[in-house]
Amino acid sequence: MNISKALASLDEMLSHANEMLDTHPIDKAFKAITYANVQWIEAILGIGLYNPYSYFQIGVSEEEKAEIEGLLYERAEAKKAKDFAKADAIRTTLEAKHIQLMDTANGTQWEKVNS
């Protein structure tokens, strides 16, 4: 395997993905493809040691992450209690902070979007 070529291709792919995500932050299909590619790279090359969603959280301070996680916990509790108005209000609060939520089978994931 030509590791230099592999890493150059990986860098090119990630640069392109970052550009696309900066200009089209709401393109869910492209995010899904990028997510799948990062998972594949991690599995095949053994690199990409983060949870793939964490790549979309780079640049968010630990304090902000703690605040977001706290709000996500409150939102999950509100949904369990069937208080959907509160859950929606929390989503709206996070969206105002440019945080996009994705409810998945593995729980709620989030990412910071540019706007």
What is the pLDDT, as a whole number, of residue 51? 66
pLDDT in tens, 92-105: 999 999 999 988 88
pLDDT in tens, 71-84: 999 999 999 999 99
pLDDT in tens, 12-32: 888 888 888 888 877 788 888
More confident residue, 65 or 49: 65
Helix axes 62-80, 84-96, angle to 10 degrees: 160
Percent helix, strand and coil across the chain, each to the nearest 5? 65, 10, 25
Q: Where are the domains of the chain?
A: 1-49, 60-115
| First-last CA distance in the chain | 40
Residue 100, beta-bridge partner list: 111
More confident residue, 53 or 4: 4
